[in-house]
Amino acid sequence: MQILIVEDEKKLVNVLRRGLLEEHYAVDIAYDGEDALEKIAVNEYDCIILDLMIPKVDGMTVLKKVRQTNTATPVIILTAKTSFEDKIEGLDQGADDYITKPFSFSELTARIRALLRRGNKSDPPVLSIDNLTLNPATRMVKRANTAIMLTSREFALLEYFLRNQNKVLTETNILEHVWDFNYEGLSNVVATYVKYLRKKLKVSQSCREIIHTMRGAGYVCKL
């Protein structure tokens, strides 16, 4: 799941980014409102964490512009503005949640999970295909009742596939949601991790392939 952090305090950004990466999210950063709007225009984010007091374009204006064209993406305001009036305005302008600084990181991640569950009511609590199950809450993956140990990146990749079954996902789609906007590593990283996943998911010879390569297009998760 891909999250955009819009915040100009670099020390706080580093803490948030590190913590969210450890929670298996892909993270993009915008240090001002202008950059945030540019990123939002070209990327499909699963959640936006938005400070109100940011340079160039203030956070409330960013929120208003987002809600003019996008009513679905969850937005969490994370700000030092603590007045009752500020909270009312933020929620009235379309924010899904309002958290004031200082804050608990565990509370922030709990609220992110709650918003993502609310925004995907059709998603079952346990994702599955064939005899494979993935539990996002417990981070448990099983196939034919056999537990499968995955790295955090492999888990994120499998979860993305399972949430988008029967859809062709390009390498760009996968990089943006499982890695992040600024990834500059190996060019074949997606193919490499798909190979890792396929090997780990083959717990027996009778297991059917569930991740298929669509030559020239990308990958699709299906039976």
Q: Report pLDDT digits (tens) over 192-223.
A: 999 999 999 999 989 999 999 999 999 999 99
- CA 59 – CA 6 distance, rounded (Å): 8
**pLDDT for res 186:** 63
221 touches 161 (CB < 8 A)? yes
Type of residue numbered 26: A
Mean pLDDT of 75-95: 94
**pLDDT for res 70:** 80
Mean pLDDT of 83-93: 94
Lowest mean pLDDT among 42-56, 147-161, 175-189: 175-189
What are 21-36's pLDDT values in tens digits? 888 788 999 999 999 9
Percent of the chain with pLDDT over 70: 94
What are 93-137's pLDDT values in tens digits? 999 999 999 999 999 999 998 888 776 545 567 899 999 999 887
Percent of the chain with pLDDT over 90: 70
**pLDDT for res 118:** 76
pLDDT at 11 over 80: yes
Q: What angle do CA 110, 114, 119 make, to 5 degrees?
A: 150
| Contacts of residue 172, Cβ cutoff 8 Å, sequence gap at least 6 | none
148 touches 203 (CB < 8 A)? yes
**pLDDT for res 12:** 94
The CA distances from residue 44 to 3, 12, 139, 174, in Å, are 9, 23, 24, 12
**pLDDT for res 203:** 93
Query: Sorting pLDDT into bands at 50, 70 and 90, what band is 179?
Result: confident
Mean pLDDT of 4-24: 92
Give the torsion sign (CA, 148, 154, 159, 165): negative
